[in-house]
């Protein structure tokens, strides 16, 4: 009986790991095929930041940006999700940009006077309908820069 339990536990764990890897692969594909287009005419930095998020969840990412370089941040979510909120903050937690104040724009273009690490926080707002299961889907954060 103990062997059967261990075998079932192993199968369940394997299924969970494989389904998680499959979800991440699908999200990377979403980032490549959908969100990357939001960077045009900027050049993609080569990194794909994407994860499965559920309504009400948020994620944050830290990235270093350099002075005198023009950048674009693009944040995209699967069609089944509500509009994705994102904000960019400096090390002192000052909000430099919030797309909530700009009609939930998917992109923000900027140039910094000094090099610094910024925090990008993305949030999938909850629709508030407690009778339905919260939606889940891919959310991608992409970065581009202008070639001088």
What CATH number has the domain bearing residue 138? 2.60.120.380
Q: What is the pLDDT of residue 57?
A: 96
What is the domain count for the chain?
A: 1
Which residues span the domain enclosing 65? 2-145
pLDDT of residue 143: 98
**Tell me, what DSSP letter sits at residue 42?**
S
Residue 148: its pLDDT value, please?
A: 77
Question: Residue 119's pLDDT is what?
Answer: 98
Averaged pLDDT for residues 48-70: 96
Structure tokens at 86: 């994102």
Nearest Cα to Cα of residue 146 among 58, 17, 40, 49: 40
* Band (8; pLDDT cuts 50, 70, 90): very low
- Per-residue pLDDT tens for 32-44? 999 999 999 999 9
| Cα→Cα distances 6→11, 12, 15, 18, Å | 9, 10, 14, 18
Tokens of 13: 């764990």
Q: Is the pLDDT of residue 10 over 80?
A: no
Do you find a cis peptide bond into 41, omega within 30 degrees of 0? yes
Nearest CA-CA partner of 75 in 111, 112, 48: 48
Q: Tell me, what's the pLDDT at 42?
A: 97
pTM over 0.85: no
């Amino acid at each position: 009986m103990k062997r059967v339990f261990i075998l079932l536990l192993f199968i369940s764990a394997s299924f969970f790991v494989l389904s998680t890897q499959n979800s991440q692969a699908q999200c990377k594909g979403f980032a490549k095929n959908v969100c990357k287009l939001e960077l045009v005419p900027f050049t993609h930095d080569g990194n794909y930041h994407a994860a499965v998020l559920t309504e009400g969840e948020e994620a944050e990412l830290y990235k270093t940006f350099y002075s005198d370089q023009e950048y674009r941040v693009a944040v995209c979510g699967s069609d089944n999700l509500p509009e994705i909120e994102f904000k960019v903050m400096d090390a002192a937690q000052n909000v430099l940009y919030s797309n909530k104040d700009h009609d939930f724009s998917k992109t923000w273009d900027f140039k910094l006077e000094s090099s610094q690490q910024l925090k990008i926080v993305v949030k999938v707002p909850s629709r508030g309908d407690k009778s339905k299961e919260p939606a889940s889907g891919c959310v991608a954060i992409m970065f581009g820069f202008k070639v001088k």
